[in-house]
Structure 1
Amino acid sequence: MKTVAEILNSKPDHSVHVISPDVPVLEAIRLMAEKNIGALVVTEGERVVGIVSERDYARKMILAGRSSAVTPVSAIMTSDVITVEPKANHEQCMQLMTDRHLRHLPVVDGGRLVGLLSIGDLVKNVIAEQQSLIRHLEQYIRGE
């Protein structure tokens, strides 16, 4: 069972895109579109203060009739951010994401943001582990 650190290391792109809470929502949406991502970690210095997603935009901006050009990210971000440490395993993360209806988990080590896991990252890992197990079982059955 892989740890969060191992999953992060296997990702082709290790960068975590962050934004400041005082930036207009429009800039956050532009950055998400430019990077083809669904969420940004909101930081003040190195401290994680929130997370903002496309879902937040749809529910808290569009449906509320707010202007994304003047509304700050802090007005729509989720500020009660659930994080994990690099030593957590993928099963713990999947359980947490399922129970809390999360799609993204910031990874924090010693108070410092070190990565971001998406549900897609975890699903890819589970599929890879299952394929590996199937290969090993097939080899065992064939007597290899």
Structure 2
Amino acid sequence: MAQKVRDLMTPHPVTLPPDASLVEAAKQMRAKDIGDVLVVGGDGRLRGIVTDRDIVVRALADDRDAGATTLGEVCSPDLAVLGPEDDTDEAVDVMRERAVRRIPVIDGGELMGVLSLGDVAIERDSGSVLADISAARENT
């Protein structure tokens, strides 16, 4: 029996509104030891994702003010999404095709979690370097 996304996803992802600043997102990432925040509008609809790499490449490298730049300005809005009952093999295929490391998990329009490449690596090959890095304790 194939493993399901719900078995590996990280539930209750960190979300921020589109008008939150990059500084707010970076502080959440540091506090929660994560590499992304999901951008959710006031209507509860998923608007995009912002990763630590997005902050660097789409904002800081362009000399944008991290305190004044909003998540809505730099988030990736064209998201691949998965359902909790999707097979993890399918999820890996989507990650490969879209060249992404994280995919939001949606059920009936409700944000349920995030599946990351690290989540899959830990489960599939716990001895791999990616699994070791993904399972490592936060740097202090």
Aligned to 2:4: 3
CA distance in 2, matches of 1:59, 1:7: 29
> Aligned pair 1:37/2:34, yes or no?
yes
Aligned to 1:90: 88
CA distance in 1, matches of 2:92, 2:23: 31
> Aligned pair 1:26/2:7, yes or no?
no
Aligned to 1:105: 103
Query: Aligned partner of 1:96: which letter?
Result: V
Secondary structure of 2:69 counterpart: coil
Cα deviation, 1:3-29, whole Å, max 9, x if unaligned, reads 011223xx6xx3311011001111111
Superposed displacement of residue 54, structure 1: 0.7
Aligned to 2:12: 15
Runs (4+) off by over 6 Å: none
CA distance in 2, matches of 1:5, 1:124: 15
Q: State the TM-score, normalizing by the size of structure 2.
A: 0.84
Size of the alignment, in residue pairs?
A: 124
Superposed displacement of residue 117, structure 1: 0.7
Query: Which sections of structure 2, spanning at least 5 residues, go unmatched?
Result: 127-140
CA distance in 1, matches of 2:94, 2:14: 22
Q: State the TM-score, normalizing by the size of structure 1.
A: 0.82
* Aligned-residue identity in percent: 27
Query: Aligned partner of 1:106: which letter?
Result: P
> Higher helix proportion, which one?
1
CA RMSD of aligned residues (A): 1.2
